[in-house]
Structure 1
Amino acid sequence: MRNVILILCFCITSFSYSQFTIQGKVTDEAGVLLSGVHIDLDENCTQTTSNGSFELRDVVAGTYVLRIQKKGFQTYEQSLKVVGNNTIDIVLFKEEDLLPEMIINDRKTVTYNSTKINQHQIKEHFSGSLAKSLEHIPGVNAMEIGSGVSKPVIRGLGFNRIAVAENGIKQEGQQWGADHGLEIDALQTEEVEVIKGVGAIEYGSDAIGGVIKINNEKIPQIETTSGSVILHGKTVNEALGLSANIQSRGENYFYKLKFSGVDYADFKVPAHEIYYLNTKIPIENKRMKNTAGDEYSFYAQGGYVSDRFQSIVSISNLNSKIGFFPGAHGIPSINAVKDDGDSRNIDFPYQKVNHFKVINSNKWINDHDQWDLLFSFQQNHRQEWSAFHTHYSNQSPPVTNPDLELDFVLNTLDTQLKYTFDAGLNHKTTFGLQQNYQENQVGGYSYLLPEFTRNGAGFFAKHEWKVNELFKADVGLRLDYAHLKVKGYFDPVLYDYLKNTGKSETESRSYAQRSTAISNNYLQPNIMVGLWKGITDRWSVNFTAGTNFRFPSAMELSANGIHHGAFRHERGNPDLDVEKGLSSEIVLQYESDTFKTSISPYVYYFSNYIFLKPTGVFSVLPHGGQVYEYSQSRALITGFEWNVYKRIRQFSADITFEYLYNKQLSDDGKDYPLPFTTPVNLYGEFAYHINDSRLMKNSKVYLSVKWANAQNRIAQNEEKTSGYTLLGGGLEAEFKIGKLKPVFRVQASNLLDTKYFNHSSFYRAIEIPELGRNVQLMLQLPF
């Protein structure tokens, strides 16, 4: 009996320490083999090869957690009992297949507030510009600049408090002023993630309000060629556009080519006149004269991809030319807005923008770690052209380009190195080092933004810990350094003019010193923590808290001149400190098969928020308006976003409610609201989903409602804005005609041609309403 027991013990021990092989292949739902998929079996891990296969050797018998991950796909996770050699075939589903009709925040993989939308959803909500096309995301709004340009606003924070990153590189240029749009073509973007609050630890300064993260590096499948052509048009500005792309991949090499172009006329508004600088200016034929424009962009990408290494080079170039409404650019002019009979011509004043960018991203992929190395160069060149005019009589026009009013050339070099290490299934640590160099040159007969150079460096570290299936914690640390050197400029012509008009020596010099020479060093730490808790299978909650900061810009420190784009005289403050604060939010989410809802209250506190404060003194320059000076005070921003989605058979409803409250916390007790505060608003989309047929699928008709409350809580010198209700609707259908699968979309907005004002609009200050009734058509022809 004793020998039998010994033999059994020996057999059990031998079996326990037997080593087996687990192998298999990974495909998507269409059966396409997927390479570069990360396979984890506790401490054992590997990557799928170019043919989608994988093999794990020397696996000891036991029960494990098998986790399979690939960017752009849902994570596959299950318990696996190993008692011998095993072959497994895995099917991964794309992320967008999780929620085909709606967008909801992703909190099962991250602790911070993140919302992802794919290329299909971008086209579905396309509204001419990228920022405008993201407005359906809770907490995101757009500050429009006419009909072709806009900039994003998140929770009332915009400009240089929102970072926009493409393929890991921060987009430069749009943060300089209200009239500088986001120079990225919406139809060329492949995937967008909006990160709100403190989840932006990788981006440092300029990311207080959040990050719009654009991924244009989705790699095509092996041995495939595909593309599409998109035709689109609008009635509100008679826009005609074309976008085309093609991509192809062999085994290791791939390329993408994209082109977009659009030409549009003066846009229409439901108004007959505006009021600017005590002057009523007529709007003939309800068209904003000289607001026509065009935009052309080209994008090329090529790369090498293998199981362990990939290198991608992306080159983009965007050119646009957009007219400014002449009746409210500088001196009010009624004659300038008379109908010239051509709604598509672009006359003085206008702006020209060219944004050129090169990005090289490299990845070295191992079983447990990954290195990322990025290089980029971008040049943002912006010009404002206006027939030569002067605010002081002794100024002569330049010999060359006498009508070039402002000329900005911003060159930026970026280098980033990131190392990510996976310690088993439940721990991931990331270290990053970033370097940024900028040089800004200026020209033109007018003056606003100074010349400057800026050197910056940042280091960050993050750790993600999956405690168990129902609890996850993140912590992030960051340290940033920046050196800003601003070139001083004294305008002797202006000085002589002011002295000759009887101004004092002190006053003449204060206006003639157009920028103050500055050489500042900044050093700022930052910390973020995040917690995610699964309450039940359907309920989850996450909490994030951290510090935030923003280095003052050259404009805020040293500008001194008339800013036609903002309709005022702006003066910098060289004594500004780093903008600092604390922020936190809680997100509670429920999700079932037919019902989903999330609510996210948040709060931001700033110890020294930077804002433009009216001085009560009017500029001595003719038509300069009131002088606004950059100042700092404590500030509070709080609110919440609530999203509800319900599906009943073929009907669905998607409703988002936003509430925002903010104010300055000044020492004198005058706690004014912050400027451009988004009013309480609600957006609802109600759809009927048509059953798929042999000819048509993925089709729906929908009605949309946008309601905004009156904004009576206003900053100094702002105007109150009345509330409004807008109706819209649309139709989307994907057809199958032989081998063709065209997608047709029609979208209508402001169906009742309602006259309304967007409180955060660029043109709100001069009573220009938002666009009138608009019908947009889009035809997509994939191949």
Structure 2
Amino acid sequence: MKTVLSVIITLVVGLSLQAQNCDYTLTGKLIDEHNGEPLIDAVIQVIDTEIEVYADFDGNFKIEKLCIGKIELKVTHPECQDLIYPILIEGDTFETIKLEHHWKELEKILLQGSSVERSNLNREIVNKDYITQEYTGSLSTSIEKLPGVNAMEVGAGISKPIIRGLGLNRVAVSENGINQAGQQWGADHGLELDALAVENLEVIKGVAAIEYGSDAIGGVLKIDNNKAPIDDGISGSASSIAKSVNQTIGGSFNLNYKAKRFFVKTRVTGLSYADYKLPADTINYLNFKLPVFDEELKNTAGKELDWNIQTGYLGDNFKSTLSMSNVYQKSGFFPGAHGIPSIERVQPDGDRRNIGYPYQRVNHFKLINNNTFSINKEAKLIVNLGYQKNHRQEWSLFHTHYGNQPPPENNPNLELDFNLETYDAKVKWEQKFSEQHTTNLGIEGRWQDNSISGFNFLLPKYDAQNYAAFLTHEYKVSNSTLWSLGVRYDFGKVHLNEYYDNYLYDYIIQNGESQERASSYAERSPNLDRNFGNFNVMLGGLFSWNKFSLNANIGTNFRLPTPIELGANGIHHGSFRHEQGDPDLDPEEGYVGDIEITYKDADFLVSVNPYVYYFDNYIFLQPTKTFSLLPHSGQLYKYSQSRALLSGVEVSLQKTFFNQLKTQVVGEYLYNQQLTSDSSRDYPLPFTPANNLYAEVGYSFNNQGSILQDSEVYANTRMTMEQDRIAQGELVTPGYALFGLGVKKSFNLFEKQSSVHLQVSNLFNKKYFKHTSFYRRLQIPELSRNIQLTLQVPF
């Protein structure tokens, strides 16, 4: 009996001790349910305990000293739905946890509740579904609903971004870690990017922008499209778009394959559009009244064909992707915008899709290699390599401004030809010293060579080199306080080749000018070597309490003058003016500060973001009091420098009623000023967007089993004030109000969620002008009423 009792007691004690064993470890990995990527710095809390850990750079986490039994984890990440995740602990355990994104259109991803997360300073984030549904024909116009973002446009298919009133070479565009290198200096040059290939886009301002170089004064469009497919096997998607205003037809087809650690992605996008309609039958250009037949702007048709292929390897400690892409665009210029206005040149040709002279053609080839080496859980090395070839041409029937210039033997109608090759290398070390301290240290180099040809001259042949080193550090004092510091040093070299125009020399001599003056004009570009260097620093802080947060940044900014600003010297058609660079320009230098205050409740968000920039020597194209000796050129415009002040405030508000009625308002006010020694000559800066307000109301139908399930109807308006604060040579632009309607519907097809979106813009066919449009100076109004249909089908 004693023996049996001893055995029973031993078993009971053993089971009791086993039940109380609290020496087990839970390890896990957090991934994005949408794209399979690891989620960095998520907070994992064991409910009803004080245990709280953070996921590392690869989404991994570890919780030790756990007892046998059931526990519940609360997983929080600023870009995902909070998740309660039950786990049964029976020994050492490993779990892969997937979180669902809750991307909010136009919402600043700054905080959730009162917890500050890393890398969320001053940025807006949208995903590929947003880009597809808001797609208007170009990337820049597709994101104009974001606070502080505007577009500089040429017609219906070409645009480039403006952030906080800063555009051209003051906004950097980064794709998969490599900055886009094209002919950004021209207002008539768009971004050579496939907008429908964008998987994730961030608009970055503040300290985080310092990593992207001197061209990021206004901000950065950070594009990522190198995500691995979630599931093994074949997947893909197809999307299509149709627009009434210019008879756009197009689509994009994506096909993926993944086998464990390897994946391949391909995409082809094609667009074709006709001459666009505008609500006017005449335009007034240089005091000439030109007819607009059938309210269709002649020769504004275009086409685009893009492709990309990407392959990748996903190892435990090494990840690599190789991306190859090509973007081809061909679009016409309104003939009345080139040369002397002529009614004959704007007569219809009977084919609305025909692209005649003059037109532009651009081909942008890109090869990018991204590599990530995980040294340990706290450190990783990132190496990005890139090659780009941007080939841009402007074609126009040969015309000589000088009687003695013969047409070229080859390509006689090729007016301007720029062939820019760019090599990039960027190495960055990311080190997480603790839960509080994270440092990024990087170096980068860029080498460029630009060749030219064509029967006209605008920009000389040049080569340029840029080298930089940068450091950013984040110090997370607590869940409510985060400090961020960024420093960067840039060094740049540029060499401009001499260009002497003998035809121009003879022409000026024949017009009775002196040899000295003729020779000074005929030297279109000097043989020039310039070196530039500068040091920048930015400091930012993010503070939260209850439902409020405050994000503040202060620092310096710096931008190297571009070859076009140093060496341009010729007639820029479309602008119809002689543009001339200044080889003695200094780098832009200045100071910037901004503060963003945000209040966020469960169904309410409001943020106010005032900012100010001061420049010691802002570079801009300024009309002079001199008329050019070049024929058909008019007033001489020269790149100049001035002290300048730029300020503004962005306001964003969102409110949801009854979980179904969503409202949002985004407003922007801008004020800028050249600061010269003669106050009577002070002017605003060129291409400043007018103060504007965008508002939208949408109602979602949640009726289960109803045909209206997963549907939304909405109405919106954009109100823009008169822009009467204009730079030299600009026209006052009247204010306007536009209205739109739309309906969205999601439905299941092939066991995937597809969507269709029908929208109407400029509902009342309003005639209006956009101050940042390339065609504004020609007094050409914007597009007529447009009905657009998009369809997206994944498989």
Equivalent residues in 2 for 1:517-596, closer than 5 Å: 517-536=527-546, 538-596=547-605
Secondary structure in 2 aligned to 1:120? Answer: helix
Partner amino acid, structure 2, of 1:185: D
Is the CA contact (8 Å cut-off) linking 1:637 and 1:661 kept in structure 2? yes
**For structure 1, which segment, 389-398 or 84-93, has the greater mean C-alpha deviation from structure 2 after superposition?**
84-93
The match for 2:779 is 767
Please state how far the C-alpha of 1:212 moved relative to its aligned partner.
0.3
Please state how far the C-alpha of 1:729 moved relative to its aligned partner.
1.3
Pick one of 613, 632, 643 that aligns with 2:622: 613
Is the CA contact (8 Å cut-off) linking 1:361 and 1:372 kept in structure 2? yes
Please state how far the C-alpha of 1:21 moved relative to its aligned partner.
3.9
The match for 1:400 is 410
The match for 2:10 is none
CA distance, structure 2, for counterparts of residue 341 and residue 332 of structure 1:
21
The match for 1:104 is 108
Is the CA contact (8 Å cut-off) linking 2:713 and 2:744 kept in structure 1? yes
CA distance, structure 2, for counterparts of residue 487 and residue 255 of structure 1:
43
Is the CA contact (8 Å cut-off) linking 1:539 and 1:590 kept in structure 2? yes
Please state how far the C-alpha of 1:40 moved relative to its aligned partner.
8.8
Please state how far the C-alpha of 1:126 moved relative to its aligned partner.
1.1
Partner amino acid, structure 2, of 1:441: S
Please state how far the C-alpha of 1:408 moved relative to its aligned partner.
0.4
Give a deviation string over 1:587-612, Cα, whole Å, max 9, x none: 00011111111000000000000011
CA distance, structure 1, for counterparts of residue 736 and residue 42 of structure 2:
52
Change (3 A) 1:39 1:270: closer
Please state how far the C-alpha of 1:124 moved relative to its aligned partner.
2.1
Pick one of 456, 476, 481 that aligns with 2:466: 456
Mapped pair 1:22 → 2:19: no
Please state how far the C-alpha of 1:507 moved relative to its aligned partner.
2.5
**For structure 1, which segment, 239-248 or 458-467, has the greater mean C-alpha deviation from structure 2 after superposition?**
239-248
Equivalent residues in 2 for 1:663-674, closer than 5 Å: 663-669=673-679, 670-674=681-685
Mapped pair 1:249 → 2:258: yes
Change (3 A) 1:322 1:594: same
CA distance, structure 2, for counterparts of residue 379 and residue 29 of structure 1:
34
CA RMSD of the aligned region, Å? 2.9
Task: For structure 2, list consecutive stretches of 5 or more residues without a partner in the other structure.
Answer: 1-20, 45-50, 68-72
CA distance, structure 2, for counterparts of residue 273 and residue 197 of structure 1:
45
Is the CA contact (8 Å cut-off) linking 2:138 and 2:158 kept in structure 1? yes
CA distance, structure 1, for counterparts of residue 747 and residue 83 of structure 2:
32
The match for 2:5 is none
Please state how far the C-alpha of 1:105 moved relative to its aligned partner.
4.2
Pick one of 667, 671, 678 that aligns with 1:661: 671
Is the CA contact (8 Å cut-off) linking 2:568 and 2:581 kept in structure 1? yes
The match for 2:687 is 676
The match for 2:699 is 688
Change (3 A) 1:67 1:418: farther
The match for 1:170 is 179
Pick one of 126, 137, 153 that aligns with 2:135: 126
Partner amino acid, structure 1, of 2:729: N
Please state how far the C-alpha of 1:751 moved relative to its aligned partner.
0.8
Is the CA contact (8 Å cut-off) linking 2:32 and 2:38 kept in structure 1? no
Is the CA contact (8 Å cut-off) linking 2:505 and 2:518 kept in structure 1? yes
Equivalent residues in 2 for 1:125-164, closer than 5 Å: 125-164=134-173
Partner amino acid, structure 1, of 2:141: K
Please state how far the C-alpha of 1:691 moved relative to its aligned partner.
1.1
**For structure 1, which segment, 302-311 or 38-47, has the greater mean C-alpha deviation from structure 2 after superposition?**
38-47
Change (3 A) 1:124 1:463: same
CA distance, structure 2, for counterparts of residue 486 and residue 67 of structure 1:
60
The match for 1:480 is 490
Change (3 A) 1:364 1:20: farther
CA distance, structure 2, for counterparts of residue 278 and residue 731 of structure 1:
43
Is the CA contact (8 Å cut-off) linking 2:252 and 2:267 kept in structure 1? yes
CA distance, structure 2, for counterparts of residue 541 and residue 124 of structure 1:
31
Please state how far the C-alpha of 1:103 moved relative to its aligned partner.
2.4
Change (3 A) 1:77 1:472: farther
CA distance, structure 1, for counterparts of residue 600 and residue 92 of structure 2:
35
CA distance, structure 1, for counterparts of residue 34 and residue 401 of structure 2:
68
Partner amino acid, structure 2, of 1:687: G
The match for 1:215 is 224
CA distance, structure 2, for counterparts of residue 560 and residue 30 of structure 1:
54
Change (3 A) 1:89 1:625: same
Change (3 A) 1:407 1:543: same
The match for 1:3 is none
Pick one of 702, 718, 723 that aligns with 1:706: 718
CA distance, structure 2, for counterparts of residue 33 and residue 274 of structure 1:
53
Change (3 A) 1:70 1:377: farther
Pick one of 99, 106, 116 that aligns with 1:93: 99
Mapped pair 1:117 → 2:123: no
The match for 2:524 is 514
Partner amino acid, structure 1, of 2:526: T
Please state how far the C-alpha of 1:566 moved relative to its aligned partner.
2.3
Mapped pair 1:439 → 2:461: no
The match for 1:63 is none
Please state how far the C-alpha of 1:38 moved relative to its aligned partner.
7.1
Please state how far the C-alpha of 1:742 moved relative to its aligned partner.
3.0
Secondary structure in 1 aligned to 2:166? Answer: coil
CA distance, structure 2, for counterparts of residue 84 and residue 216 of structure 1:
40
Please state how far the C-alpha of 1:225 moved relative to its aligned partner.
3.0
Is the CA contact (8 Å cut-off) linking 1:39 and 1:67 kept in structure 2? no
CA distance, structure 1, for counterparts of residue 579 and residue 56 of structure 2:
56
Equivalent residues in 2 for 1:158-557, closer than 5 Å: 158-365=167-374, 366-536=376-546, 538-557=547-566
CA distance, structure 2, for counterparts of residue 72 and residue 166 of structure 1:
21
Please state how far the C-alpha of 1:88 moved relative to its aligned partner.
7.5
CA distance, structure 2, for counterparts of residue 410 and residue 461 of structure 1:
29
Task: For structure 1, list consecutive stretches of 5 or more residues without a partner in the other structure.
Answer: 1-17, 61-65
CA distance, structure 1, for counterparts of residue 82 and residue 226 of structure 2:
20
CA distance, structure 2, for counterparts of residue 756 and residue 735 of structure 1:
37
Aligned residues: 758
Give a deviation string over 1:61-104, Cα, whole Å, max 9, x none: xxxxx9989997579899x9xx9977575744344x153x5523
CA distance, structure 1, for counterparts of residue 235 and residue 222 of structure 2:
25
Partner amino acid, structure 2, of 1:281: L
CA distance, structure 2, for counterparts of residue 67 and residue 434 of structure 1:
40
